[in-house]
Amino acid sequence: MDTLHFERRELKYVVPENRIPALRRFIAPYTRLDHNGAGLPGNRYTIHNVYLETPRMDFYRACLDESPDRIKLRIRWYDEEANGPLFLEVKHKVREVVVKDRARATRDEALAVLDGKVPAAAATLDRGDWRLFIDRATTMTATPLLYVRYTREAYESIFGEYARVTFDRAICFQEAGHEHLREKPNEWTYVDGASATKGIPRAAIMELKTERGTAPRWMADLVSHFGLRRSGFSKYANSVRCCLESTDRLRGSARSMVLAG
């Protein structure tokens, strides 16, 4: 979880829940369970995010348009109370390649950044590139829009190359209120139902993650053996779409502009 910079390919597949045991058996000779989920119910850990957005909804519109060059800004954490560590993330996708830069932060530092301030320690601590996140958020006037949460079951390659298989479930969102980084337990809306997963009522989002151009053979065999077909599924875009369709509060006039295309 603490890697602060990487470049990789991410291939997504919507898979029925009843196929996951067979998928696990297939990858078992090549992978081990990610230690972050070991011992937790279902071997799953929870990922919490607050996504930032511009007044014109530029990040969301880029997803809708399938722009070959697009970014997301978010703050991520893994504990229920967001006590830390937290990660300021710039996720930059250029065609098939995802470049992610993270800066590790305390809760107070993350809150300061959301308030438009630069913590004094940011310039001196070796915890990632703070300036990249702050510059993007400042120049694009990006502010918190949605919390997005989900559980992850993850496996990593037992060989030398970087390769991960993840299954994400229980994808849900809520609007980011004035009190930043305080989710409300009873206000989640789920966005991984059949309407978002090509008609599959119980599904997980499986991702195959590899370094650029170095996908191991067993991943290709996995896709071929199960006849898997790639299916774009943006947790953020699906959450925004659902929210735009269900409330007039989100971004006010931006709602009408985005729905009108």
Higher pLDDT: 139 or 118? It is: 139
Distance CA 115, CA 112 (A): 5
Average pLDDT of the residues in 114-136: 75
Extract the tokens encoding 56. Answer: 């014109």
pLDDT band at 260 (very low <50, low <70, confident <90, very high): very low
Average pLDDT of the residues in 105-131: 77
Structurally, what CATH architecture does the domain formed by 5-259 represent?
Alpha-Beta Barrel (3.20)
Q: Which of 136-150, 157-171, 197-211, 226-240 has the lowest mean pLDDT?
A: 197-211
pLDDT of residue 1 exceeding 70, the answer is no
pLDDT tens track for 201-257: 788 999 999 987 778 999 999 999 999 999 878 999 999 999 988 765 554 434 444
Distance CA 22, CA 237 (A): 29
Average pLDDT of the residues in 105-110: 91
Taking each helix axis from N to C end, the angle separating 107-114 and 130-139, rounded to the nearest 10 degrees, works out to 30
What percent of the chain shows pLDDT beyond 90? 66
pLDDT of residue 66 exceeding 90, the answer is no
Radius of gyration of the chain (CA): 18
Higher pLDDT: 121 or 152? It is: 152
Terminal-to-terminal C-alpha distance of the chain: 36
Distance CA 145, CA 131 (A): 21
Higher pLDDT: 197 or 219? It is: 219
Is-contact 113 143, C-beta < 8 A? no
Is-contact 154 164, C-beta < 8 A? yes
Q: Which of 3-17, 140-154, 184-198 has the lowest mean pLDDT?
A: 184-198
Q: What pTM was estimated for this model as a whole?
A: 0.89
pLDDT of residue 248: 57
Q: How many Cα atoms sit within 13 Å of 58 on the Cβ side?
A: 15
pLDDT of residue 258 exceeding 80, the answer is no
